[in-house]
Each structure stands twice: as structure tokens, then as C-alpha cells.
Structure 1
Amino acid sequence: MTLRVVIMGVSGCGKSSVGEGLAARLGIPYRDGDDLHPAANVAKMRAGIPLTDADRWPWLDAVAAVLAQEAPVIVGCSALRRVYRDRIRAGAGGAVRFIHLSGSRDVIAARMAARKGHYMPVALLDSQFATLEPPGPEEAVTIDIEQSLPRLIDSLLPALQGEMP
């Protein structure tokens, strides 16, 4: 089985940090979904304008293409709605494991405010939470982000046993 993992959650939840750390532990690549957005999407978000489904479809297709063409791979992607996750699954070329990073709005807002150089403003966090359809246990592993990064990564490894490269 070829490992295809999507680290998902609202902006600021730690997708990049967890994805990079998990990829390093597993010895496979990590791709940041932020880098796959079309320039028009980045411009909208930078301007504080939430993306629409029409804006997201090409981006989700790009995420699915990375999963299909570069597996084994971990991709960070918000994948906020079930229909977005279904779109990724449909184009991924095989089974996809979703890991949902879950945390309180206050914790995530503080993380967003502290990061430098990211185009996503804290002002869009409420729209992210409004769009989020948290996955159930049949769809994803959900983990609380309010723990150390090494501990969080250690706790995810058993969920990926049997699928590691």
C-alpha cells in the first residue's frame, strides 16, 4: 500500500509543522497545500476575502494530483468540508488517510497572530471555522493540537502503522 496522508484543519492549526515533522519521522516528502493555490486564491486570502467552492476546486484537484503522482507523500490541506475531502479522494489514485488537527479558536488565533509572512489573515479564521465540517472517526484521525509537537507526532504514528513505506 502506498501512503497518502492529508494533514487537515483550519488555518493556523499546525498543518505545516505536523506534516513536516511526520514526514521527517517517516522518511517521506511533505508538500504544503498553500504552495498549490493559484495566485488568484492567494490574492483573495491576502485581501481578507474568503474563498468560494469555485475557487477551491482547482486547488483541491492539485492536492489530489500530488497524492496520485508523488506517493508516498504527506500534504497539508485544510480540506474543511466533506465534499472537499471526497474530491481529494476521487483524484488521489488510491486510499487517503486524513489527520484532522483540532483546537480551540483562541489557541489557533494566537498561533496565527504570531506567525510571520503568511498570507492568511487572522480575520479569515471565523470563516474557516464556519466552513469546517469536522470529520467523523470513520473518515479521519482527529487529534488535539494542545500538546507538544513531538508528542503529537508520536501519537499519530500508530494510526499509520501498516501503511508506512
Structure 2
Amino acid sequence: MLRIVIMGVSGCGKSSVGEGLALRLGIPYRDGDDLHPADNVAKMRAGLPLTDEDRWPWLDRVAQVLRDQAPVIVGCSALKRVYRDRLRQAGEVRFLHLTGSRDLIAARMAARKGHYMPTTLLDSQFAALEPPGPEEATAIPIDQPLDAIITAAEGACQ
């Protein structure tokens, strides 16, 4: 069963790439933001970074989706290796890491409307990020048009 996690810091394009890839592959996309417990959302809205303890119940929900709804694509930051290990408990998971500079991602975050994650938390996201090596994930640069990013993601899933 195909289980794909589109990962990266907030604002890197997980939702846009996940939705586009889902259309190309003909499988569902689930936004990990929708799986956060209400307390996590409230904390982020208040500009407070999540702790590992905050993230465990959320990661368990993401893993359950990967396990029970495959084939599926999930957008999930998966910032630390231990988080990715937790997600792998769902079975074989393919990670696609959307990479970009802090400035590019901050500009994208500032331009988006209606999202609860404030730009002020971007530094905490980069601080928590343990970039996966090539043996763990396929890195996809986001400094290119969305269609090119989706094409690269599709190629990584072949």
C-alpha cells in the first residue's frame, strides 16, 4: 500500500503539493493540520510552539490515517527523526521533504490567509527540524513553480 508523507516546516507547501500529487496519483490527500487536537491548534494560534508531548497524540492520529486509509498522502511536518519513526509504525512510508530557505517560506506564510500557524513560529519549526538524509526521504526544492514541484514529487513516488 502506498503511504506518502509530504513533510517540511510550516509554509513550505505541503497542502498544495499534497493536493496536486493526490490528483495525479488518483489517491486521497489528508491534511495533517486537520488532525491536530484542539489544544494544539489553540496553542499555535496563541503563538506558542508545540512540545514533543503536544505532538505525540497528533502523530498517532497521522499514523492511524496512514495505516487505515492507505493508499493515502498526508501532509505532516514530521520535523524530527523520532516523529518520522513514529509514523513508520503504520507500515512502509515514503517521505517527501519540501525544502526551501527561511526567507522564501516566511514570505509564503505571510501571504497565506486563514491559517492558524503564525509566521512568528517559523523559527521554532526550523530549530526543531532534523533534515532527513537521502536514505530516509526525497528532498524536493520549493524554489520552482508548483507544477514542477508536483512533477518532482510524482517522480519520487515511482
TM-score normalised to structure 2 length = 0.99
Q: CA deviation at 1:154?
A: 1.1
Once the two structures are TM-superposed, the CA of residue 16 in structure 1 deviates from its matched residue by 0.1
Amino acid corresponding to residue 50 of structure 2 in structure 1 = L
For 2:12, give the aligned amino acid.
C
Aligned residues: 158
Q: Distance in 2 between matches of 1:138 and 1:98?
A: 10
For 1:83, the aligned partner's letter is: V
Q: Which runs of 4+ in 1 moved over 3 A?
A: none
Aligned counterparts of 1:5 and 1:155: Cα–Cα separation in 2: 14
**Residue type at the aligned position of 1:55:** D
Q: Percent identity?
A: 78
Unaligned runs of 5+ in 2: none
Query: Aligned residue for 2:74?
Result: 75
Please state whether the residue corresponding to 1:126 is helix, strand or coil.
helix
TM-score using structure 1 length: 0.95
1:107 is aligned to 2:97: no
Pairs within 5 Å for 1:1-165? 2-90=1-89, 92=90, 94-161=91-158
Instruction: Return the offset for 1:155.
Output: 1.7
Distance 1:127 1:48 in 2: 10
Provide Cα deviations, 1:110-148, integer angstroms capped at 9, x if missing partner.
000000000000000000000000000000000100111
- Look up the SS of the partner of 1:66 in the other structure: helix
Give me the whole-angstrom Cα distance separating, in 2, the residues matched to 1:159 and 1:33: 21
Q: Gaps (5+ residues) in structure 1?
A: none
Post-superposition shift, 1:156?
2.0
How many Å apart are 1:158 and its aligned residue? 2.2
How many Å separate the matches in 2 of 1:130 and 1:136?
17
Q: Which amino acid aligns with 1:87?
A: R
Q: Give the 3-state SS of the residue equivalent to 1:101 in structure 2.
A: strand
1:65-93 deviations in Å (ceiling 9; x for gaps): 00000000000000000000000101x1x
Residues of 2 paired with 1:153 and 1:88: CA distance?
Answer: 22
What CA distance in whole angstroms lies between the structure 2 residues aligned with 1:18 and 1:160? Answer: 13
Counterparts of 1:19 and 1:133, CA distance in 2: 21
